[in-house]
């Protein structure tokens, strides 16, 4: 894997890629959702997302900068593996397809609504899902953004890569249009 990552972050010159440390031992505390240590690192960022592990690793200039749990596409909404680049960044984005439906009193009547198939009741509304710190990977609607990770280690999205909010903010500030993202099975 190291050789493939080097190809993503360098042109001709060989680059030594630091291997990530093993996960910390469990101590009875709630497990951390991410670690972020970019201090002193410089160069182009790159991201590797492992669909099986539901984990992303970030490298800066080929050096390991941190990891995070992610929630990718649940059954029927798979996140596509492949080589991507960040195409767009939007701080305050909302889905154009998914969200929740509330009735006239504001009570949720469908927490996982699809605008193509579900309509709100009379007086109700369709509330499109927020996708803050959006980093688009495909023009078909796949990207990385802050969002709920209800069961760390398990897919939960409609195909996007959800990140813990605090990590999403830091990643958003680090990456730029063109940052390479590799999604593996």
pLDDT tens for each residue of 52-91: 999 999 999 999 999 999 999 999 999 999 999 999 999 9
The token pair that represents 109 in the structure block: 């009547």
What number is the average pLDDT over the span 91-99?
A: 97
Residues ≥6 apart with Cβ < 8 Å to 104: 121, 122, 123, 124
pLDDT at 31: 75
55, 137, 159, 162 from 51: Cα distances, Å: 7, 15, 11, 12
Q: Domain residue spans in the chain?
A: 2-9+38-99+130-184
Above 70 in pLDDT, residue 8? no
- Smallest CA-to-CA distance from 140 within 92, 101, 84 is with 84
pLDDT at 1: 45
pLDDT at 20: 56
Report yes or no: 73 and 155 within 8 Å, Cβ to Cβ: yes
Better-scored residue on pLDDT, 170 or 7: 170
pLDDT tens for each residue of 104-133: 999 999 999 999 999 999 999 999 999 999
117: left (phi over 0), alpha (psi -120 to 50) or beta: alpha
- Smallest CA-to-CA distance from 144 within 75, 100, 87 is with 87
Helix (H) or strand (E) holding 92: strand 88-102
pLDDT tens for each residue of 23-49: 554 455 567 999 999 999 999 999 999
Half-sphere exposure of 128 (CA within 13 A, CB side): 10
CATH number for 2-9+38-99+130-184 (one of 2.40.440.10, 2.60.40.10, 3.20.20.80, 2.102.10.10): it is 2.40.440.10
pLDDT at 170: 98
Residue 87 CB-density burial (10 A; 0-12 exposed, 13-18 middle, 19+ buried):
middle
């Amino acid at each position: 894997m190291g050789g493939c990552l080097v190809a993503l972050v360098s042109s001709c010159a060989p680059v030594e890629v630091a291997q990530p440390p093993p996960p910390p031992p469990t101590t009875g505390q709630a497990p951390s959702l991410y670690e972020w240590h970019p201090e002193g690192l410089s160069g182009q960022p790159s991201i590797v997302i492992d669909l099986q592990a539901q984990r992303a690793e970030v490298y800066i200039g080929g050096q390991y900068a941190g990891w995070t749990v992610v929630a990718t596409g649940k059954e029927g909404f798979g996140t596509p593996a492949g080589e991507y680049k960040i195409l767009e960044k939007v701080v305050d984005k909302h889905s154009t397809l998914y969200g929740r439906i509330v009735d006239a009193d504001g009570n949720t009547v469908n927490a996982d609504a699809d605008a193509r198939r579900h309509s709100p009741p009379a007086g109700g509304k369709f509330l499109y899902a927020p996708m803050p710190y959006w980093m688009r990977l495909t023009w078909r609607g796949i990207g990385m953004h802050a969002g709920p990770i209800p069961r760390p280690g398990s897919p939960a999205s409609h195909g996007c890569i959800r990140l813990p909010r605090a990590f999403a903010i830091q990643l958003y500030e680090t990456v730029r249009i063109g940052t390479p993202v590799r999604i593996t099975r």
